Amino acid sequence: MADHGTSAATHGGGGGHTSVKTYINVAIVLAIITAVEVATLYIPGIPNWLLVSSLLIMSAGKFYLVVGFFMHLKYDHQIMRALFVGPLLIAVIIILAVMALFSAFLLLPRPH
């Protein structure tokens, strides 16, 4: 019965590849990045472009760590990866397209 579980987990496409130590290390890195993100907000005189781009990069890093290690997508079958990464790219394109349509800007100053 237990073997059946292991088999299902393996053929289900992942799960048993990451150790508890790795999970804890990833969680520590996530906590540090979050603390740095919030601290960045309070740096006096930081240029807007630098603040926004650094926040987006840190956020993307956290996103990758959770998806790759906690959701095991890094070790999962490529079909699973395609099922998630494909729509994710479409979502990013949707955001950029809607912003472009409405002349909304994240990194650039808004026209007055």
Partner 1 sequence: MADHAATHAVHDPNIGNTGLDHRKMGMWAFLGSDCMFFGSLIGTYLAYKGKSISGPSPHDVFDIPLTSYSAALLLASSLTMVLALAALQDNRVKVAARWLLATAAMGLHFVLNQVYEFWSFVHHYDLTLSTSLFGSSFFVLTGFHGAHVTGGVLWLLILVGLAWRGQLDRRDYTKVEIAGLYWHFVDIVWIAIFTIIYLIP
Closest CA to 71 of 88, 84, 89, 59: 84
Q: Which residue's entry shows tokens 């799960």?
A: 15
Burial class (CB in 10 A: 0-12, 13-18, 19+), 69: buried
Helices 20-41 and 48-65 cross at an angle (nearest 10°) of: 160
CB of 43 to partner 1, least distance (A): 12
- For the segment 27-66, give every residue that binds partner 1 (CB under 8 A): 27, 30-31, 34, 37-38, 41, 48, 51-52, 55-56, 58-59, 62-63, 66
Q: Which residue's entry shows tokens 């959770």?
A: 66
- Verify binding: residue 75, partner 1, rule CB under 8 A: no
* Footprint of partner 1 (CB under 8 A): 1-2, 4-9, 11-13, 15-16, 18, 20, 23-24, 26-27, 30-31, 34, 37-38, 41, 48, 51-52, 55-56, 58-59, 62-63, 66-67, 70-71, 77, 79-80, 83-84, 86-88, 90-92, 94-99, 101-102, 104, 106, 110
